Amino acid sequence: MTAPAAPARSQAGPAPQDAFSRLQALVAEDMGRVNHLIATRMASEHAPRIPEITRHLVEAGGKRLRPILTLAAARLCGYEGEHHVLLAATVEFIHTATLLHDDVVDESAQRRGRPTANLLWDNKSSVLVGDFLFSRSFQLMVEADSLRVLAILADASAVIAEGEVMQLATANDLSTGEDAYLRMIHGKTAALFAAASEVGGVIAEAEESRIEALRAYGQALGMAFQIVDDLLDYGGSSAALGKNVGDDFREGKVTLPVLLAAAAAPDDAARDFWVRVIERREQGEDDLPHALELMRASGALAETEARARAYAEEARAALAPFPASPLREALADVVDFVVSRLN
């Protein structure tokens, strides 16, 4: 049997934000149950600071893209049970835990337009509440009663931590190669997108080819998502990014725009600039605008955007094994939502 064609991009398709709203609407009832479960499971009888900090981050909004992927993947595969709700909540708890830990590591002051938990409370509380959420996520995984699902999400949790350590190891190091950068963003971001999509197919007991297609979709979508995030640090808006623009630059993070611009430095002055601001982190008020000038002149910004869009197309093509349906179309259109943040 010939596989259904990959969803094609329509010239008259929905606007990216409308496309995401359409996916949200398709899983709205399930997502309501996920939100109720999250509110219930983030409670703690003996440590009120846990729900205080968790609620601060959860109620800040966010698109809930990762748990929505789990719900949509399960429904796309015809699942009619209840365990996809448990797994979607698990995915969101893992994601929220990583955000709490990330903000401590990065010394961030803003997340989703609000002060970070580590700023409002303290680093110790943020780390420990993140640990609590990781523990809660494993309790939920066990309740789903699937060793395969447990293995997928446990592996993803380990890979996420590995990716964060890789980011620490590559910070301020311009000798970092693109392969190392791609492994790092797979760990810190794409691994959870992939697992979130894959477990939806696993819990639905879908054909292996479809489970693999869902994993490939999530992996490519996650890579596109993180590359877009890295690009937005150099010219996006705080609203689109969810944190202060220029944070990555100020922290000396070696992201794809930096790698490409430093590799294409046209002269010693440009090379010395990147060594000073990234490796030595000696930065002045005019350095971020100058970095942007060098990135534009070298084509680094355009090339980074092209890489993000290539991963986006890879995600769209991965949905080919599924027959046409509103859910498949919405998942395909969410690809456009991810890259639309560049506009």
pLDDT at 168: 84
pLDDT for 142-199, tens place per residue?
998 899 999 999 999 999 999 988 888 888 899 999 999 999 999 999 999 999 999 9
In DSSP terms, 110 is beta-bridged to 115
pLDDT at 110: 66
Cα(231)–Cα(308) distance, integer angstroms: 9
Residue 121 vs residue 92, higher pLDDT: 92
pLDDT at 275: 97
Question: Lowest-pLDDT range, 120-134, 200-214, 240-254?
Answer: 240-254
pLDDT at 227: 96
pLDDT at 3: 44
How many other C-beta atoms can be found within 10 angstroms of the C-beta atom of residue 320? 15
Say if residue 13's pLDDT is above 60.
no
Average pLDDT over residues 213-226: 97
- Predicted structure pTM score: 0.89
Contact 95, 192 (CB under 8 A): yes
Question: Confidence class of residue 16 from pLDDT cuts 50, 70 and 90?
Answer: low
Residues 6+ apart with CB under 8 A from 164: 98, 101, 102, 105, 187, 188
Write down all domains in the chain, each with its CATH number in brackets.
21-334 (1.10.600.10)
* Radius of gyration of the CA atoms of the chain, in A: 20
pLDDT at 270: 96
Question: Lowest-pLDDT range, 5-9, 88-92, 113-117?
Answer: 5-9
pLDDT at 2: 42
Average pLDDT over residues 12-16: 53
